[in-house]
Amino acid sequence: MKLYEKYRPKSFDQVIGQSAAVAGIRYVLNRGWGGKAWFIHGPSGAGKTTLARIIAAHGADDWFIEELPMARDISIADLRVMRASMALYATGKGGRAFIINEAHGMRRDVLEGLLTLLEEMPDSACLIFTTTSAGKDRLFDDCEDAGPLLSRCINVELRTLGLAESFGAECQRIAIAENLDGGHDLAAYVALVQSCKLNMRAALQRIEQGAMLEAPAPVMPRAACLAQPEPKAVAAPKVKQWWQQEQSPLLRKAV
Ligand SMILES: Nc1ncnc2c1ncn2[C@@H]1O[C@H](COP(=O)(O)OP(=O)(O)OP(=O)(O)O)[C@@H](O)[C@H]1O
Ligand SMILES: [Mg+2]
């Protein structure tokens, strides 16, 4: 199993740095799980699919959580199957959840079908869309107004601004637990996360590929640096200019 799957948060408490989003989700869930549609957007690797799965698991058992293909690959026939399965009884927690990742690029007929589906969604079902922030601006291929869909969804925005240190600390914890750390300090993990544009999945992939295995280059302690003798200034070799030479070419000429 990939590291990023193994360490994917399973509960809201394990999600790092999305406290505002998590507080909003908790508030809504406290008022009931079913019959709702969610729209989660934010940068790649910030926790959108992770949160979608946690929301889904709140009201549905694993067997009844379905992740659909990218929105652009969904057909009207898929929507019919979805509607039919929403009406079916589910065991365990009793709900059925549908996650549509990469919700951008949706076809116009699918959008229309989805709007109808959302209107008729039973209390035992929940639909969750996720997309990157960039995806949100081009939800539909033909630049249709996304308003009708978004206004039927609970909006959740994830941010990664200022999360380099907490993501770095989590990466360090995972690398140490998996024996994939060569002794690097937190700053090295923060730098790794920054080089991955704060995409946690990308950072964990790099760690899995051994990016942090090599021991950090030894750094001389400051005291030792100060104890080093100052390098002696090397005097420039004294070269006599031609006019300083006893037998300058000019003098020789004059003679
Ligand atoms: N906020 C977070 N807290 C803890 N781990 C996280 C968080 N965000 C991402 N991760 C880690 O990164 C992995 C990928 O996260 P996730 O699939 O939720 O990203 P995403 O936002 O859906 O990205 P994409 O837009 O590329 O689909 C997770 O399995 C988890 O290991
Ligand atoms: Mg995702």
Q: pLDDT tens for residues 195-238?
A: 999 999 999 999 999 999 988 877 666 666 566 666 566 565 56
Phi and psi angles of residue 12, each rounded to the nearest 5 degrees, phi first: -60, -35
Residue nearest atom 25 of ligand 1, based on CA coordinates: 44
Q: Which residues of the chain have pLDDT under 50?
A: 251, 254-255
- Other CB atoms within 10 A of residue 172 CB: 22
Pocket test for ligand 1, best of 8, 13, 172 (most atoms within 8 A of CB): 8
* pLDDT for the residue 71: 82
List strands edge to edge, sheet with 96-100: 65-68, 96-100, 125-132, 36-42, 154-157
Reported pTM: 0.85
- Is residue 55 within 8 Å of 128, Cβ to Cβ? yes
The average confidence (pLDDT) of the chain is 87
Pocket test for ligand 1, best of 13, 40, 41, 49 (most atoms within 8 A of CB): 49
What H or E segment, with its residue span, contains residue 48? helix 48-59
Q: What are 155's strand-pairing partners?
A: 39
19-30 and 48-59 helices cross at what angle (nearest 10)? Answer: 20
Token duo for residue 171: 């990466």
Name residues contacting ligand 1 (CB within 6 A): 4-5, 7-9, 15-18, 44-50, 101, 130, 132, 170, 200-201, 204
| Distances in whole angstroms, Cα of residue 67 to Cα of each of 38, 101, 116, 133 | 14, 7, 20, 20
Contacts of residues 217-220 at CB distance under 8 Å and 24 or more positions apart, as own/partner, are none
